[in-house]
Amino acid sequence: MSSAFDAAGLIWLVIFVYALAGSVDLGATFWRMVFARSGDHEAERIAARYVSPLWEAANVFLVLIAVAMVGFFPGASYAYGTVLLLPASLILILLALRGSFLAFAHAAPNPPRAFWDVGGVTGLLLPAVLVSVLPVSEGGFVGGTDGHLTLQFGALATSPTLYAYLVFGVAASLFISATFLSDYARTAGNDAAYRSYRRHATWTGPLMVIAGVAALFLMPSPGWFHDRLQAQWPWFLVSLVSFALALGALWSPVPGAPTSGRPRWAVVLVGVQLALADIGYGIAHAPYLLYPQVSTVAGFSNQAMFSGLVWVVVIGLCVLVPGFVWLWRLFVLDPRYTRS
């Protein structure tokens, strides 16, 4: 049923958009905490300038993912809601803490540093908890039958695949945010902050790649997902090439510039890298939403629901994406704001 895969592809697209925007958002609050404590006030100021107007904007895509998942794949939504009750509750708690303390920090005239620390710690924990859904979806950690599914916490907690994914999720968030903030610092004309973020992007990027490769090799083999993922090697190979070019762009010489590097190109190449890896992973995962309990076709609602809801999602994207782009042009790409 092509509609089922079209719906899955649409949800995967929204997840990709949230992964990029959310990584920058969550990583920026963590870097702000780190640089505030290390005394690098120039880098802290750049992170603060980004976080101040945009810290809540990315979460609207998270809401859209949940709405689309429930509408397109109610069976998978019920299964995930049952299996991931504890992780999902933890995500909601972390989001509530982060939102509350950042709101207090922005409202208070002289907020305690602990307010920003809560934002930084939750910005580090949320990517790890969110990415833990991936190894669960690949199978091996869910027991029972339809309607009585349980998450096998013991098997999951002792699986090296889980910890490879956790490192990957955290490193990816830090790498994406550091690369983006290096460009943000360059736009603001702050070379000291630019060098700080470039330095951290240089080590978080390779850590992300190493963790991703480790997750592949630590998967149970032979297995359905392991074999299908290896079959998508061209996507991942080109993704690695894009990653290497992104690191090279951060250090490439610029004639007449006081500091080397082309961070805007690096940001674009990182986006291409993640898009290619996202496509390869999505194609490999396509037959199942939750292996082996829920397949993409079996978990699909129906054609009538698809026809109606797809317009809701598309219209939602048409409203959210331009609004998000407008916010970025106003608060991220405009030197008058970044340098104020």
Task: Retrieve residue 66's tokens.
Answer: 């949940």
Q: What pLDDT sits at residue 10? A: 83
Q: Rounded distance, CA 247 to CA 182, Å?
A: 12
Q: What is the torsional sign of CA 9, 14, 15, 17?
A: positive
pLDDT, position 125: 92
Range of the domain at 238: 2-338
Instruction: Write down the pLDDT at residue 76.
Output: 80
pTM, entire model? 0.89
Q: Mean pLDDT for the chain?
A: 83
Q: Which amino acid is at 285?
A: H
At 268 the three-state DSSP class reads: helix
pLDDT for 147: 60
Peptide bond connecting 292 to the previous residue in cis, omega within 30 degrees of 0: yes
Number of domains in the chain: 1
- Cα–Cα separations (whole angstroms), residue 161 to 45, 77, 86, 191: 37, 24, 19, 39
pLDDT in tens, 77-104: 777 878 888 888 888 898 888 888 877 7
| Model confidence at 338: pLDDT above 80 | no
